[in-house]
Amino acid sequence: MGSVTPRANRKKVFITGVNGLLGQKLVAQLIQRDNFEIIGCGRGDNRLPLEGFEYVSLDITDEEKVKEVIGVLKPEIIIHGAAMTNVDECELNQEAAYIANVKATEYLLRAAEEIKSHFIFVSTDFIFSGKEGPLDENAEGSPVNYYGETKLEAENLVKASSTKWAIVRTVLVFGIAHDMSRSNIILWVKSSLEKGKKIQVVDDQYRTPTLAEDLAEGCILIAEKGAEGIFNISGSDFLTPYDMAIITADYFGLDKTLISKVDSKTFTQPAKRPLKTGFILEKARKELGYEPKTFRTAIAILSKQIILASS
C-alpha cells in the first residue's frame, strides 16, 4: 500500500479550460496522483466523464468573476491552458482573440498576484517568425499571425507579474479527446487513407509535434517542482506534416502512394504560419526530468485510445 497524502497537505491546483484537450489530460493525470486537490473551470457545463476533481463554471473573460472565484478558492497553483487557439479564427476575429488570450490572462494574473499563486501559462511556438528552428528558451518572439501576437503579449504580462510564474511553450499539440470530438493529423491521415482518398500534405513546415499527455506531464512537473521561468515542452522529433503522414501510414500499414508532397503556398488560409519552429528540450530534461514520447510511440498510444473510445 502506498502512502496517501493527507488532504490538508495537498496543494490546490486550479486549471482553466478543463473541457479542452490539455485540460482533460491534466485532470486525468492529476487524479492519478494524490498530492493535489484539483479544481477545473470551463464555460458552461462540465463535459469530463471523470471523478476526483471539482468543476467550476467560469467565463475567464469576466474580470469580476475571475477575481471572486480565485479569491474564494485560493489555489496555490494556477495552470492557465484555456485560449482561443484556432489560428485562422484569431486572424478573422481579432477582438475576440485579444479578449480570450490577453485580457483573460491579465485577469487571472491579477487574481493570482493577490494570493501569490504559482502561475503556469501555456504558450506556443507561434510566437516565433518561423525563420529558424529548433529553438531554445532564449529565442526572441516575432509572430507572423495575430494568434502569435496575442500569446506573445500574454507572455510579456506573465513575465512582468509580481507572482511566481512559469511559461510552458509547446508545439502542434495532438491527442484524443474523451468524446473523439477533435481531429488531428494522425486521425485525418488514417481516416483518409483507409477510404482510399488521395491527400496533399505540406513538406516545407517543420515542427516538434507534441502528444497532449506529454504537455500535461510537463505542466505537472513544473507544478510539483515549483519551477520558474520559461520551459519548452514538446515532442523531440523534428518533422514536417508530410513526415508525420508517412510515419502514420507506415504504422497502420496504409497506402503511402496516396500521399503527395506540396508546399504551404498550395493552401490559402487567412493566417500565415511560421515555416520552421520546433523546440530544443535540454532545459526541461535537465531541470524537470521531462522526456517526451517519440512520434511513433505517440501514434501507438492514440491507436489504443481510438479502440477504447469506439468499444
Q: What is the CATH number of the domain that holds 80?
A: 3.40.50.720
Whether 152 is in a domain gets the answer yes
SS3 168: strand
Region label for 74, one of left (φ > 0), alpha (ψ between -120 and 50) or beta (otherwise): left
Q: C-alpha grid cell for residue 58?
A: 467560469
Count Cβ atoms below 10 Å from residue 161 Cβ, excluding itself.
Answer: 17
pTM confidence score: 0.96
| Residues 66, 68, 72, 74, CA torsion sign | positive
The residue among 103, 102, 108, 107 whose CA lies nearest residue 148 is 102
Whether 303 is in a domain gets the answer no
Q: C-alpha grid cell for residue 12?
A: 490546490
> In whole angstroms, what is the distance from residue 40 CA to residue 253 CA?
39
Whether 271 is in a domain gets the answer no
What type of residue is 16?
Answer: T
**pLDDT at site 5:** 58
Domain containing 215 equals 7-176+209-236+278-293
**pLDDT at site 1:** 40
If one counts the domains in the chain, the total is 1
User: H or E stretch including 211?
Assistant: strand 210-211
How do the pLDDT tens digits run along the chain, 311 residues long? 445 555 668 999 999 999 999 999 999 999 999 899 999 999 999 999 999 999 999 999 999 999 999 999 999 999 999 999 999 999 999 999 999 999 999 999 999 999 999 999 999 999 999 999 999 999 999 999 999 999 999 999 999 999 999 999 999 999 998 877 778 999 999 999 999 999 999 999 999 999 999 999 999 999 999 999 999 999 999 999 999 999 999 999 999 999 999 999 999 999 999 999 999 999 999 999 999 999 999 999 999 998 888 77
Q: Are 34 and 28 in contact (CB under 8 A)?
A: no
Whether 11 is in a domain gets the answer yes
HSE-CB of 146 using CA atoms within 13 angstroms = 19
Whether 170 is in a domain gets the answer yes
Whether 187 is in a domain gets the answer no
Q: Are 159 and 165 in contact (CB under 8 A)?
A: yes
Whether 55 is in a domain gets the answer yes
Q: C-alpha grid cell for residue 188?
A: 485525418
Count, in order, helices (H) and strands (E) of the chain. Answer: 11, 11
Residue 123: beta bridge partners? 169
Whether 27 is in a domain gets the answer yes
HSE-CB of 59 using CA atoms within 13 angstroms = 6
User: H or E stretch including 184?
Assistant: none
Q: C-alpha grid cell for residue 105?
A: 490572462
CA distances from residue 258 to 47, 191, 195, 206, 240 in whole angstroms, order as listed:
37, 12, 11, 21, 17
